[in-house]
């Protein structure tokens, strides 16, 4: 185990014991797992979604349902391997009925995401959907650039992290393309931007 593995394992243990979370009882009641994250612990690219859905909470793995299939297609279209990136969400437990995460849920899980970023130290953070975009853009001082995702998707924002210069790229959420082929094409074009930063 590397030091990074240990630190990420510690986050997992803390989230497993997070009885303060408003989503903890839901997890236990439904025999669900928290979804911590998956992938390369030294990835150059980190993808951040919103919260686990049903399949993710059953397996503990991010993006393994319908949206995950689209994400896999998008990654394949860029030639980036899923195992080379790190995939996680802001909220680590499934909100009931897949409703949007509440501010108090983002507040309780956000610090774990902050720690994951500092441990993995990605060069690129690609956000999937508006919740991840808002959280990450605010965290990295891009408040003045915060616009609807329809304006910001595919744009490249250079910022300073504690560990150096990095790039934020807001992307639409893959689930938005489930019934919208036009948006899928846009996502494919936006994902191609990631190609410049492959490991």
Applying CB under 6 A, the residues found at the interface with ligand URA are 35, 49-53, 56, 62-63, 67, 89, 175
Least distance from ligand URA to the Cβ atom of residue 60, Å: 10
Rounded to an integer, what distance in angstroms lies between the CA atom of residue 128 and that of residue 54? Answer: 18
The nearer residue to ligand URA, 53 or 170, going by C-beta atoms, is: 53
Cβ 165 to ligand URA shortest distance, Å: 27
- Evaluate the CA torsion angle 197, 85, 142, 171 in order and state its sign: positive
Which of 63, 140 has the CB closer to ligand URA? Answer: 63
> Would you state the structure tokens that stand for residue 50, as one six-digit string?
């919103």
Non-local CB neighbours of 195 within 8 Å, separated by 6+ positions: 78, 79, 80
Shortest Å distance, C-beta 50 to ligand URA: 4
Output the CA torsion sign for 41, 131, 171, 24: positive
Nearer to ligand URA, 33 or 63 (CB): 63
- Least distance CB 29 / ligand URA (angstroms): 20
Q: What's the Cα-to-Cα distance from 127 to each of 19, 28, 33, 100, rounded to whole Å?
A: 27, 28, 23, 16
Among all residues, whose Cβ is closest to ligand URA?
49
Looking at the Cβ atoms of 88 and 165, the one nearer to ligand URA is 88
Q: Which residue lies nearer to ligand URA by CB, 31 or 144?
A: 31
DSSP string spanning 78-137? HT--GGGSEEEESS-SPPGGGPPPPHHHHHHHHHHHHHHHHHH--SEEEEESHHHHHHHH
CB of 9 to ligand URA, least distance (A): 20
């Amino acid at each position: 185990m590397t030091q990074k593995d240990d630190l990420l394992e510690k986050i997992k243990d803390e989230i497993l014991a997070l009885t303060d979370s408003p989503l903890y009882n839901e997890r236990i009641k439904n025999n669900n797992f928290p979804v911590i994250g998956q992938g390369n612990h030294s990835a150059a690219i980190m993808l951040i979604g919103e919260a686990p859905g049903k399949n993710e909470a059953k397996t503990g793995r991010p993006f393994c349902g319908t949206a995950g299939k689209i994400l896999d297609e998008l990654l394949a279209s860029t030639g980036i391997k899923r195992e080379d990136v790190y995939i996680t969400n802001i909220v680590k437990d499934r909100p009931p009925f897949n409703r949007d995460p509440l501010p108090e849920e983002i507040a309780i899980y956000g610090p774990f995401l902050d720690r994951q970023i500092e441990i993995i130290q990605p060069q690129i953070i690609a956000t999937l959907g508006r919740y991840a975009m808002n959280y990450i853009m605010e965290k990295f001082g891009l408040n003045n650039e915060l616009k609807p995702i329809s304006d910001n998707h595919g744009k490249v924002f250079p910022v300073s992290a504690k560990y150096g210069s990095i790039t934020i790229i807001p992307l639409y959420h893959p689930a938005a393309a489930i019934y919208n082929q036009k948006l899928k094409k846009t996502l494919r074009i936006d994902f191609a931007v990631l190609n410049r930063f492959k490991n």
